[in-house]
Structure 1
Amino acid sequence: MAVLRTLLAPLRALCRTLLDHWLDYRHVEAQQPVLDAKQPTLYVLPHPAFSDRLALELITRREGLPSARGSVALGETRLPACIALPRLSRGLTQVHGRRSPHLDTLLAQLADDPGQDIQLVPVSVFWGRAPGKDFGFWKLLAADSWQWSGRLRRLLSMAVNGKHVQIHIGAPLQLHTLVETRSLAVAQRKTARVLRVHFRRVRARVLGPDLSHRNTLIRGVVDSPQVRQAISDAATARGTSPERETRRALRYGREIASNTSYPVLRFLYQLLRRLWNRLYDGVTVNGLDDVKALAGDHELIYVPCHRSHIDYLLLSYALFREGLMPPHIAAGRNLDMPVIGGLLRRGGAFFLRRSFRDNRLYAAVFNEYVHRLISRGHPLEYFIEGGRSRTGRMLAPRPGMLAMTLRSFARDPRREVAFVPVYVGYEKVLESGSYLKELRGGHKKKESPFDLLRIVRRLRQSYGHVTVNVGEPLMLSGFVDRQVPDWRDNRRQTRPDWLNQAVPALGATLSQRINAAAAITPVSLVALGLLANSHHAIEADLLERHMRLLVDLRRHLPGGERITLPEGEPRDWIAHTAQLEFIERRQQALGELVLATPEQATLLTWYRNNVLHLFIDMALVAFAYRHNARFNTEELLTLLGPAWPVLAHEFHLPADAFAPRLERALAALVSEDLLIETDHGWERPAGHLASSEHLRLLGRLVQPTLERGYLLLAVLLREGSGTLTREALEEQSRQLAERLTLLSGLNAPEFFDKRLFSGLLDTLESQGWLWQENDKLCYDSSLENAQRRGQALFDPSLHHRLTQLVHRRSS
């Protein structure tokens, strides 16, 4: 043996020299563990591999860590500085773990000398999982997967993927408690088990869970007790045989299930990398360290906002680029098109129908499939809004996927589920043209494979920058404990009663956390300032000052740690927005003007609505001063307090007590000289000052919402209690809002979006202002009094215009 080592020594030295010049790597972990240089360090690899050992030796030398080469002295005993767990022995019925002589020696030494201390550091090395610069057959062949590589393939991997290595250096393992409380044999098995669990979690985090065969998974779904019962019920209801319903269930499973392929994921990464480089100036990702800290120990469910078809592609690309496994994505069946559907399915997409309430067998198959993904640790991604937002606002969350997730968690709560809110901020979306048509009343265009050709034609256009912000993760077990403390008592029910309480609360919380991670872009800031003027024209210097003011106001408010602000100067933001063709700049004798055509103004409303929620509380206070010079705290609470729940619901903000929010908004406005604090309250500045103009522009941000509320209440009060159905009131209010935009010369289709009136009614009912009797909306005098007090917010001319509009419609 010694002779063999002597003969192999020159070969090892040659490999080490070659790899030293070839190896390039990146760290997987969010933060590298701190190792004590004064303590002996022993590195542990998940399996014997000369390539991994050699890479670790080079990496520890470059990083200045304790060396992984040579040996470590433990008393009179010496151990190699790097050891590996022996491979598992796979029998016919079970897997056996082999004893590690090095671990036995280490544990025995620690047992004999309790004062001895050592750092046992687990290390995982991945060859080819790190996204490379080039895509090719050899890189796919040589990249890491769940199957351990043979010697020839590992040699190929070193040659092909040596520039694209990922390494995970785990936290040191404490062994004294194992040695002191257990026998040596038990301590050895326990240590090996802890290490293998750690290595498996890291591998699942980087490569994703081990994927079983798709047909096996589908068959397991259909054979589950829940689906078998649904098959029996369907056969009875339809008068068919169980065999026929079983075939139908299998057909549903094949329609739903993804067929994830690692080579396709790598292919898509390279394809998307090239696409983003052509379409965008850059893709910035913020907050992924929180996700890396959770990955491996938690079931991750990504819940992004849904503004574009690009959302899920961007998120998967960002996760893969950062060394995390892309999730399985719930996609609408409309995307299961020829060619495109197959590619998406192999990239992790599973498809669902828009509605399957009346198809219980399909619902059972889909529920069971989702449960198996979650219980096996596959990361998931779905959009709680359901469809894409055509107005740029966060849409009301839909209960479907959230309820399925909660039911799955109730069935098996052993593995913690972590929701990861994600905000995707675009400076320009690919669907701008189609959104504009739909906002003007056009029908939604059906997806087609030929849409790819349209994207190719747009590759020469610039779509600005994209920002992906990760919000504050939400631990599901803690959330459910707070909402329903006794949920475990009846968790085994097929549909627990507590879902009716937990699902809406979960959707509202996730929506708020998505909005709390918004990205403020130059385009959105230009839209906030420009659209606040009725004719969509503003002096360039005034717009610059106002945009800077908005950024400063946002900095004054607490809770903005995950909100990102644009870099540079306001002048650069205007130039960038003009380059994206959202505005026109016109030189004039008295100074430069910034204008928007009717079509540009309509498009800009989408980008304004992306971030409008970040300024809405300050805008509400500013609007109160449009027709009033001064208020004290009590007057502001009385005037604005009833409106806050409506605004909080529409903009997905926490509906907490309004008084603290009012205090923070007033402090921010005073800090920027938009209000003046006196002994008796707060006053607006003199009309000739620039700050007065900024206060007016800020107040205009909330005016459309208040006008919609006024129109709806005016129609309801005009008709009387118990007269109108909910649907009739929504339609009449929508028609009046549309008429108001036309008479005002505004091109703002999102102002009369029917869903906004529906959300307003939801809030009024939840707050007790309205209730239904015999399908008719009823109210009492408290609503009339509140509406009368709210009239003080509007200046006389605006109030007269709104009132006349309602009266003419009624007559």
Structure 2
Amino acid sequence: MIQGALFWLCWLLSRPLMWWLHFRTTPEQLPAELDIETDKPVCYVLPERSWLDLFALQRICQMRGLPVPKRIGMKLPSADTATFLYLPILLRPERDTDALEALFGEAQSYRGYDVQLVPVSLFWGRQPDKETSLFRILFSDSVGAGRLHKLFIALFNGRNLLAQFSVRVSLREFMAETPRPRHTMRKLARVFHIHFLRVRTATLGPRLVRRPVLIDGILRTSAVRNAIDSEIASSKKDAAAVRKRARRIANEIAANYSTTTLSFLERLMTPVFNRIFRGIDVRNLERVRQLAQTHEIVFTASHRSHLDYLLISYVLYRAGIVPPHIAAGVNLNFWPIGGLLRRGGAFYIRRSIKGDALYTAIFRAYVDMLIARGYSISFYPEGGRSRTGRLLRPKTGLMAMITESALRQRARKVAVVPIYVGYDRVPEGATYARELRGAQKQKESAQGLLKATKVLTKSFGKPYIAFGEPLRLQEFADQQLLGWRDGFGSSAAPVRPDGFNALVSALAQEIMRRINRAAVASPVAVTSVALLAAPQKAVAASDLHAQVALLLRLLQVQPYDPEVALPLTDAAQTLDWAIPIARLSRIPHDWGDILLAEGKQATLLTYYRNNIQHLFAVPSLIASFFRTQAEVPEQQVLDAAEALYPFLRTEFFLRWPDAQSRKILSDTIQRMVELGLLERDGDALVRPDITSAMFPALSMLSRVMGETLERYCMTAVMLSAEARKGPIERKKFEEHCRSLAERIAVLTGRMAPEFFDRALFQGYLDTLIELTLISETEEGAIRVGDNIDELARSALALLSPEAQQTILQLTAHRQPYATPQEQSV
């Protein structure tokens, strides 16, 4: 009786605090996402005894439309009356063993009776444990806090409460597996205990170490001490000066992770994102929440804007998942943003560390520490922001360090989570276009940050963040590198096993493919694909509607991957969203309005097209065979497309291995026939009649990959012309290809700066080497094989007569190319 009176007194006194409470729930859409059945009782399970937690839960349930838990004593809940259960009662039920066992027995005796058990974790302030911090001892949420301590915690953190509701569990299922009530209680206790521990780890992360302690620990590692001794011996510098430099490097690198700063940034960025975006489209977040409970996570995202890392951490934090430590370029370490990002989890890396053994050792030790302590990490495999909108070739330096550290430690499983990041309109779009045209990249600075505030006056549609299929690192290593578990040396003398570099290379390629598999076909991107395929970047509004509808339909009847998302599936809604954001011009006409992209805007649209161009690579390749031919034998299409597929796979990180390409090509042809884009006439494929509605759609689709095929063609034609002149210096040849592409772009009014991106020609030559069509000498020269002439003819056949003429004329009248032998004369 006294306990009950005290409870109600505390309930009454807590009312002002409950009204002051500010909370967030995961999932956000309650009660829909919990899928609670209204005809069955509900019992919330709380991880610890706390009246304040219960009062807060009652307030949350009331405001979110969930059944409100009540005290019902040792009675079974009904469909009309929800209740609650503290986990400690199940863990240590000695005091109430008989009564609780009788209650479970009573529930078991009623046939068909079931209770929906809903685990709920409450986090006041979301502060992880931190070593030797008096502030957190007094005010941070902690397991087992007393009533007075809990009051301090609630008063200080009441405006930052996270309530995490987990999937409901059926009591009847537990009772069916363990017939005896006491066994049911014990099993429930074990399951929920492990569940709450995992949820706490995923939400708060591991214990934080004070930054000075962390830096001292790094400098004391044997690998760093050896590197310091080596530099002292090799440079003959003063030992104190070398140690001072080592500490300066560690201070430059290390993050100063602060959950208080994360909370501040979340509150700061919410109104900013609400102002410039029309919401944030997030996909597959629940898989990350579940994975974080069992794995240490390495996030690998496409890099398209400086907003990427802010958005990813923001989305994770609001979802109740601890944000990662983020690898950032040291160029961002400027006042005032550098320190703020550092406290938000950024650790800095120089653009080039080659040749600096001491820096490499310290950075490697820092990465080892992050992995060993269980911190999640985020980095960008591309190394920098993509100026073209397509994925760049991955850089493997940091990836190799993280992979080695992850495989060395055996205590935790590590999963790599690829993230696709896209935008309806990227804030740096105009800057990217200028840089691709030759403008010098502006160094990040406080002055540039002030100029960037003008984005607050603009609208950028939506950002799209899709978490792709996780890659479990240890399992991937088992498949790619047998015996890797016995192949590493000690931490003092690290030795990578044979084949480790090949493992990292395969990992990098697989990550990029999984990023592309998680692509979001946004309205602006789909509209850009259709509009930029028009010869003059202008098309009748009705035709654009039909072509967008076809692209959407194509993604539905033969999706590139089940992970690919379509925010809108209706062509009219897609265009209504995209036209104002893409700033398309509309020209009224008696026969129907015309939509076009003018000047710089057409260049910017290539960026968004490139985000999802890989989704249409295979159907566009097939459609290209019908640009100049009305009928082609199906076998010929398959043979020629299969020969070109490896180049597309390399450039666009397509998901299917070369060995599966023929089946994918055959399936795509079948889908195109079903859609009316192609017709069958015996063994031949026939394009639609020129007067039919599908003819312009097929023409549009054939031009989606037009620029890519032109690059392949010009490179093959130039290689064919040089084949009989002996070895060709590779770097000079790549520059020659880039110059030719740039000239074609100028002469044809091409609005796609990536058309003459040197990196694309590098990838093309790499693929030719893999296919043994060319070879590379140790001196970096290229030797051309005999089959290059056939490849050049096949590539030319896919182009329009105008494109064929331009390439042949320019290659025939180009400036003479000097071979290595001629250059030495």
TM-score grouping bracket, smaller chain normalisation: 0.7 to 0.9
Q: Which amino acid aligns with 1:726?
A: R
With over 3 angstroms needed to count, the CA separation of the structure-2 counterparts of 1:58 and 1:576, relative to structure 1, is: closer
- Counterpart in the other structure of 2:774: 770
CA contact (8 A) 2:261 2:343 kept: yes
- Counterpart in the other structure of 1:677: 680
Q: Which amino acid aligns with 1:723?
A: P
Q: Which amino acid aligns with 1:290?
A: R
CA contact (8 A) 1:285 1:468 kept: yes
- Counterpart in the other structure of 1:780: 785
CA contact (8 A) 2:74 2:100 kept: no
Q: Which amino acid aligns with 1:235?
A: I
Deviation sequence 1:334-359 (CA, Å, 0-9, x none)? 00001110000011111000111211
Q: Which amino acid aligns with 2:552?
A: V
CA distance in 2, matches of 1:253, 1:193: 42
Q: Which amino acid aligns with 1:567?
A: L
Q: Which amino acid aligns with 1:719?
A: E
- Counterpart in the other structure of 2:764: 760
- Report the CA distance between 1:255 and its aligned residue: 0.6
The equivalences for 1:402-421 within 5 A come to 402-421=399-418
With over 3 angstroms needed to count, the CA separation of the structure-2 counterparts of 1:168 and 1:236, relative to structure 1, is: farther
Kindly indicate whether residue 369 of structure 2 is the aligned counterpart of residue 372 of structure 1: yes
Bigger drift between 166-175 and 430-439 goes to 166-175
- Counterpart in the other structure of 1:580: 581
Deviation sequence 1:574-604 (CA, Å, 0-9, x none)? 4544423532111123221112222111111
Q: Which amino acid aligns with 2:683?
A: H
- Report the CA distance between 1:21 and its aligned residue: 6.5
Bigger drift between 754-763 and 797-806 goes to 797-806
SS at match of 1:580: helix
Q: Which amino acid aligns with 1:102?
A: P
- Counterpart in the other structure of 2:717: 714
- Report the CA distance between 1:458 and its aligned residue: 2.7
CA contact (8 A) 1:44 1:120 kept: no
- Report the CA distance between 1:102 and its aligned residue: 2.8
- Counterpart in the other structure of 1:807: 812
- Counterpart in the other structure of 2:615: 614
The equivalences for 1:27-106 within 5 A come to 27-28=25-26, 43=45, 45-46=47-48, 48-56=49-57, 63-64=66-67, 70-71=73-74, 82-83=85-86, 85=88, 101-102=92-93, 106=97
Instruction: Give the counterpart of 1:728 among 701, 720, 732.
Output: 732
- Counterpart in the other structure of 1:627: 628
CA distance in 1, matches of 2:709, 2:549: 26
- Report the CA distance between 1:438 and its aligned residue: 0.4
- Counterpart in the other structure of 1:393: 390
Kindly indicate whether residue 708 of structure 2 is the aligned counterpart of residue 705 of structure 1: yes
CA distance in 2, matches of 1:469, 1:39: 36
With over 3 angstroms needed to count, the CA separation of the structure-2 counterparts of 1:115 and 1:146, relative to structure 1, is: closer
Q: Which amino acid aligns with 2:562?
A: E
SS at match of 2:299: strand
Task: Report the RMSD for the aligned CA atoms in angstroms.
Answer: 3.7
The equivalences for 1:3-42 within 5 A come to 3=2, 5=3, 8-15=6-13, 27-28=25-26
- Counterpart in the other structure of 2:565: 564
Deviation sequence 1:143-177 (CA, Å, 0-9, x none)? 85568766556335546727844134577799999
With over 3 angstroms needed to count, the CA separation of the structure-2 counterparts of 1:764 and 1:53, relative to structure 1, is: same
- Report the CA distance between 1:772 and its aligned residue: 1.4
SS at match of 2:672: helix
Bigger drift between 775-784 and 263-272 goes to 775-784
CA contact (8 A) 1:204 1:210 kept: no
CA distance in 2, matches of 1:109, 1:615: 61
CA distance in 1, matches of 2:138, 2:463: 32
Among all aligned residue pairs of Structure 1 and Structure 2, give the percentage whose two residues are the same amino acid: 35
Q: Which amino acid aligns with 1:802?
A: I
With over 3 angstroms needed to count, the CA separation of the structure-2 counterparts of 1:509 and 1:9, relative to structure 1, is: closer
Bigger drift between 590-599 and 312-321 goes to 590-599
With over 3 angstroms needed to count, the CA separation of the structure-2 counterparts of 1:550 and 1:143, relative to structure 1, is: farther
- Report the CA distance between 1:264 and its aligned residue: 0.9
Deviation sequence 1:399-440 (CA, Å, 0-9, x none)? 012111210122113311111111112111111221111011
- Counterpart in the other structure of 2:648: 647
CA distance in 2, matches of 1:784, 1:103: 85
- Counterpart in the other structure of 1:486: 483
- Counterpart in the other structure of 1:134: none
- Report the CA distance between 1:642 and its aligned residue: 1.4
The equivalences for 1:168-247 within 5 A come to 168-169=165-166, 198-240=195-237, 242-247=239-244
With over 3 angstroms needed to count, the CA separation of the structure-2 counterparts of 1:68 and 1:19, relative to structure 1, is: farther
CA contact (8 A) 2:224 2:365 kept: yes
CA distance in 1, matches of 2:347, 2:37: 43
- Report the CA distance between 1:256 and its aligned residue: 0.5
TM-score when normalising by structure 1: 0.87
CA contact (8 A) 2:297 2:376 kept: yes
SS at match of 2:750: coil
CA distance in 2, matches of 1:572, 1:558: 20
CA contact (8 A) 1:286 1:468 kept: yes
- Report the CA distance between 1:322 and its aligned residue: 1.2
Instruction: Give the counterpart of 1:474 among 471, 476, 482.
Output: 471
SS at match of 1:550: helix
Deviation sequence 1:667-726 (CA, Å, 0-9, x none)? 221122110123323211112222111111111111111111111122222122542111
Kindly indicate whether residue 166 of structure 2 is the aligned counterpart of residue 161 of structure 1: no
- Counterpart in the other structure of 1:431: 428
The equivalences for 1:550-561 within 5 A come to 550-561=551-562
Q: How many residues align?
A: 778
CA distance in 1, matches of 2:143, 2:237: 44
CA distance in 2, matches of 1:366, 1:618: 45
Bigger drift between 530-539 and 546-555 goes to 530-539
CA contact (8 A) 1:301 1:419 kept: yes
Q: Which amino acid aligns with 1:563?
A: V
- Report the CA distance between 1:100 and its aligned residue: 7.0
With over 3 angstroms needed to count, the CA separation of the structure-2 counterparts of 1:69 and 1:226, relative to structure 1, is: farther
Bigger drift between 528-537 and 386-395 goes to 528-537
SS at match of 1:677: strand
CA distance in 1, matches of 2:98, 2:139: 35
Q: Which amino acid aligns with 2:804?
A: H
CA distance in 2, matches of 1:513, 1:65: 42
TM-score when normalising by structure 2: 0.86
- Counterpart in the other structure of 1:321: 318
Deviation sequence 1:749-781 (CA, Å, 0-9, x none)? 221111110111111112222211243211321
With over 3 angstroms needed to count, the CA separation of the structure-2 counterparts of 1:274 and 1:640, relative to structure 1, is: same
With over 3 angstroms needed to count, the CA separation of the structure-2 counterparts of 1:331 and 1:104, relative to structure 1, is: farther
- Report the CA distance between 1:106 and its aligned residue: 4.4
Kindly indicate whether residue 696 of structure 2 is the aligned counterpart of residue 693 of structure 1: yes
SS at match of 2:641: helix
- Report the CA distance between 1:283 and its aligned residue: 1.0
SS at match of 1:771: strand
SS at match of 1:355: coil
- Report the CA distance between 1:26 and its aligned residue: 5.2
Q: Which amino acid aligns with 2:6?
A: L
CA contact (8 A) 1:306 1:385 kept: yes
Instruction: Give the counterpart of 1:792 among 793, 797, 802.
Output: 797
- Counterpart in the other structure of 1:533: 534
The equivalences for 1:297-308 within 5 A come to 297-308=294-305
- Counterpart in the other structure of 1:90: none
With over 3 angstroms needed to count, the CA separation of the structure-2 counterparts of 1:385 and 1:119, relative to structure 1, is: same
CA distance in 2, matches of 1:41, 1:743: 72
Bigger drift between 620-629 and 675-684 goes to 675-684
